[in-house]
Chains A and B, each alone.
Chain A
Amino acid sequence: MRHGKYRFIIGFLAIPLALYGVLVISPFVQDFQISMTDWSGISSDKKFIGLDNYQKLIHNDLFWKSLSHNIIMLLVVPLVTLSLGLFFAFMLNVGGRRRGSAAGVSGVRGSSIYKVVFFFPQVLSVTIIAVLWQQIYNPDNKEGLLNALLGNLGLASLQHAWLGDKSTALACIMVVMIWANVGFYVVLFSAGMASIPTEIYEAARLDGAERGTTFFRITLPLLRDTVATGWVYMGIMAMDGFAFVQLMSVNNGGPDESTDVLPLLLYKTAFRDNSQFGYAASMGVAMLIVTLIFAVLSMRLSRRDRIEF
C-alpha cells in the first residue's frame, strides 16, 4: 500500500515537473548566467564578463526611458482601471433606484447585459484589440474612426495624429490597455459586492448614509482584499505591455522612443538588433527586480491599510 502510494506520487508528478523544470525553471536560472556573458547567440562563444552588461545597462539612456514608461504604466493603468471597475461595479450592484422601503439595495436595470458587454474585450486577443485600435487612431482625418467622429461632431480642432505624436502616443496606448481590462474588474468586483450581505447596506441606509459614504465606508473596505489582488494582477499585466506597444506604436516603440517599454527593448535587443543575448538577459533580470519591488511594495501598502481600518 505504502509502496504503491509513492509509485503513484512519482508517476503523477514526474511529467509535469520535468516539463516545468526544463521549460520554466531552467530558463529562469539560465537568465542570470547568460546575463553575465557577452553572448551574441549563433556560436557557442560565451565569455564571462561579470557585471559588465549591468554596467552598460545603467548607462543606457534608453533603458531608463523604457523603465520610466513601464513605471508610468504600472501606476496609471492599474489606478484608472481599478477605479473605473469599482465605479461601474458599484453602479451595477448598488447604484439602482431604491424601490420602496423593503428592498435594500439593488443594481440598475439591465446590469447583466452591461456586464456581458463590458467583458467583451477580455476574451479577445491583444492582437485583435491592438490592430482594431490602430485603425481607430488612424491619423488621417477622414480615414480614422476617432478623427472622422471628431470631424463630424464639428470638433476638427481636436483631430490629432494620436499614435504619431510623441506627446500623446503613450497615453493613447494606456487608454487601450485600460479599455481592454476594465470589464474584467467590473465582473470581479461585482462578484465581490454581491457577497457583501445586504443587511449591512440596509443598516447604513437606516443610519442615513448617502451612497458616497456607503461606497467609501462599507463597500471599499470590505472589498479590500479583492482590490489588492486586482492591483497586483494589473500591475504584472502593465509591466508586460509588450504586445500593445509592439503592435500599436509607430516603429516599435516610437515615435522617438516615446513608447518604448522594457519587454520590447529586451525583445529588440535579442531578436532584432544583432542578437545581443547576454545584454538582453540582463534586462530580463532588471525586469525581475522591478516586478519583485512592485509586489513587495503592494503587499506592504495593503498591509498598512489593514491596520488603519
Chain B
Amino acid sequence: MTTNAVSVENQKSAAPTAKKTTKRNWRRSEGGVLNVFSHGFLLVWALMVGVPMLWVLWSSLKTSGDIVGSPWSLPTHLHFDNWTRAWNKANIGQYFINTAIVVGFSTTGTMILGSMAAYVLARFEFFGNRFIYYLFVGGMAFPVVMVLVPLFFVTKNLGLLNTFPGLILVYIAYSLPFTVFFMTSFFRTLPTSIAEAALVDGSSHTRTFFQIMLPMSKPGLISIGVFNILGQWNQYLLPIVLNQGDSKNYLLTQGLADLATQQGYAGDWAALFAGLAIAMLPVLAVYIVFQKQIQAGLTAGAIK
C-alpha cells in the first residue's frame, strides 16, 4: 500500500512538467493504481465478512476440543453428528419449526392486512384518509422497545402472552407501518383504467382487489414480502419478552441465545456452532437464490 501511495506521488509530481503529452497516460495509470487500491479495500472487507461465516461452517464439523484448542484449524474428520445433536438434543429443530409456523402466519397476515389497508388508502378518497395514513406511517420512526412495558400487559390482558397467536398478531401489527407505507406508494403507480373497467363490468370492489389489483402488484408484494419474512424471522426482542413460557415454544433466535449462554458450563461448543450453522444456512441459501429481490426489497423503502 505504501508503494502505491509513493507511485501516486511520483506520477503527480511528474505530471505538470509534461502535462499535455502525458495527460492521457497519467490518467490511465491513476486508474490502475486506484484499481489496485480499491480492490485491496474491497477484498479486506469481503474477507472480514466472509471468513467469520465460513469459520462457523467449518467449526460446526469439528469436535469441541478442536474448536476451542485451535480455532483456525480445518476439521480433520467431518463430524456431522454435531448437526444431529444440535437439531435433536439442543432442540434447534423444534425452534426452527416454531419459527417457521409463527413467521408463516405473521407474514401472510401482514401481507393481506397491509395491502388491504394500503389499497383503500391509496385509491379511495374519504374523510380521515390522510389521518389514518400518517397514523400508520408514523409508527416507522419508533423502536418497539419504547413501548415494551405496556405491550407486555396488553398481550397479557388479552390472554395472548406466551402464545403463538399473540406473537403472530404483534408481529403483524408492528410490520404494518412499513408495509402500508410501501404498498400505498406501489398501488398509486398502477394504472386505474383496468380496475375501472372491472367495476363497470359489475365486479365488486373486493373482487377487483383480490383478482385484479393483487396479481398486478406482484413485484411490490415480493419485495415487501421478503422484507417482512427476514425481519420477522430475525426478531429477537419481541419473543424474549412475549414468549417467555415453556422453553419448548422458543423461537430460533431465543433458542440460539439460550444455547450460547448454556455453553458457559455445558461446554458443547460443537453443538453451538452446528446450531449457528443450521440457523444460518437456509437464510444464506434463500439469499443467494433471491439476492436481487432481497436487495431490492430491503433497500426499497430508503430510496423512495
Residues of A at the B interface (CB closer than 8 Å) are 4-6, 8-9, 11-13, 15-17, 19-20, 22-28, 30-31, 34, 84, 87-88, 91-92, 95-98, 101, 108, 114-128, 130-136, 138, 140, 142-145, 148-149, 152, 179, 182-184, 187-188, 191-192, 210-211, 226, 229-230, 233, 236, 239-240, 242-243, 247, 263, 266-267, 270-271, 277, 280-281, 284-285, 287-288, 291, 295
Contact (Cβ within 8 A) A136 B52:
yes
> A19-B169, A25-B135 in contact; A288/B253 too (CB < 8 A)?
no
Nearest A-chain residue to B35, judged by Cβ? A97
B residues near A5, Cβ cutoff 8 Å: 124, 205
**What is the minimal beta-carbon distance from B67 to any residue of chain A, in angstroms?**
8
B residues near A270, Cβ cutoff 8 Å: 148-149, 152
Contact (Cβ within 8 A) B149 A31:
yes
B50 contacts chain A at the CB level, 8 A cutoff: yes
Contact (Cβ within 8 A) B49 A149:
no
Within 8 A of A (CB), among B67-110: 68-72
Nearest A-chain residue to B226, judged by Cβ? A123
Q: Mark B51-78, 1 if CB is under 8 A from A, else 0.
A: 0110110000000000011111000000
Contact (Cβ within 8 A) B141 A16:
no
Contact (Cβ within 8 A) B42 A91:
yes
> A11-B206, A126-B234 in contact; A92/B42 too (CB < 8 A)?
yes
**What is the minimal beta-carbon distance from A42 to any residue of chain B, in angstroms?**
11
Contact (Cβ within 8 A) A287 B204:
no
Contact (Cβ within 8 A) A191 B50:
no
- 10 A-B pairs within 8 Å (CB atoms) are namely A17-B132, A25-B135, A34-B149, A108-B39, A116-B288, A122-B298, A128-B256, A128-B276, A142-B70, A187-B298
A residues near B142, Cβ cutoff 8 Å: 28, 236, 288, 291
A68 to B245, CA, bound (A): 34
**What is the minimal beta-carbon distance from B38 to any residue of chain A, in angstroms?**
4
A214 to B28, CA, bound (A): 16
- Interface SS, B side: helix
A residues near B151, Cβ cutoff 8 Å: 23, 27
Contact (Cβ within 8 A) B38 A27:
no
Which of A12, A26, A121 has its CB near the most chain B CB atoms (within 10 A)? A12
A281 to B257, CA, bound (A): 26
Contact (Cβ within 8 A) A236 B280:
no
B residues near A92, Cβ cutoff 8 Å: 42
Contact (Cβ within 8 A) A239 B150:
no
Among B112-120, B190-198, B214-222, which stretch is in contact with chain A?
Answer: B112-120
**What is the minimal beta-carbon distance from A28 to any residue of chain B, in angstroms?**
5
> A12-B119, A114-B42 in contact; A191/B154 too (CB < 8 A)?
no
Contact of A125 among B48, B169, B173, B253 (CB under 8 A): B253
A132 to B257, CA, bound (A): 11
A288 to B144, CA, bound (A): 11
Contact of A242 among B145, B147, B173, B253 (CB under 8 A): B145
Q: Mark B5-24, 1 if CB is under 8 A from A, else 0.
A: 00000000000000000001
> A96-B35, A116-B288, A116-B291 in contact; A16/B117 too (CB < 8 A)?
yes
**What is the minimal beta-carbon distance from B128 to any residue of chain A, in angstroms?**
10
Contact (Cβ within 8 A) B205 A95:
no
> A123-B294, A136-B52, A242-B237 in contact; A26/B154 too (CB < 8 A)?
yes
Contact (Cβ within 8 A) B53 A284:
no
Nearest B-chain residue to A292, judged by Cβ? B141
Contact (Cβ within 8 A) B41 A23:
no
Nearest B-chain residue to A182, judged by Cβ? B45
Contact of B38 among A23, A108, A179 (CB under 8 A): A108
Contact of B68 among A9, A143, A211, A291 (CB under 8 A): A143
Q: Mark B275-296, 1 if CB is under 8 A from A, else 0.
A: 0100110011011100100110
A210 to B15, CA, bound (A): 13
**What are the 7 closest A-B residue pairs judged by CB atoms, nearest first?**
A125-B234, A27-B150, A23-B173, A91-B38, A30-B150, A95-B38, A240-B143
Contact of A187 among B177, B253, B254, B299 (CB under 8 A): B299
> A97-B35, A131-B256, A243-B237 in contact; A24/B174 too (CB < 8 A)?
yes
**What is the minimal beta-carbon distance from B100 to any residue of chain A, in angstroms?**
14
Contact (Cβ within 8 A) A247 B38:
no
**What is the minimal beta-carbon distance from B31 to any residue of chain A, in angstroms?**
4
**What is the minimal beta-carbon distance from A192 to any residue of chain B, in angstroms?**
7
Contact (Cβ within 8 A) A291 B113:
no
A residues near B53, Cβ cutoff 8 Å: 120, 132
A68 to B271, CA, bound (A): 38
B265 contacts chain A at the CB level, 8 A cutoff: no
Which of A16, A118, A230 has its CB near the most chain B CB atoms (within 10 A)? A16
A35 to B69, CA, bound (A): 50
Contact (Cβ within 8 A) A6 B126:
yes
Contact (Cβ within 8 A) B154 A30:
yes
Which of B116, B145, B154 has its CB near the most chain A CB atoms (within 10 A)? B145
Contact (Cβ within 8 A) A4 B143:
no
Within 8 A of A (CB), among B130-163: 132, 135-136, 139, 141-155, 158
A residues near B158, Cβ cutoff 8 Å: 22
Contact (Cβ within 8 A) B149 A284:
yes
A87 to B42, CA, bound (A): 10
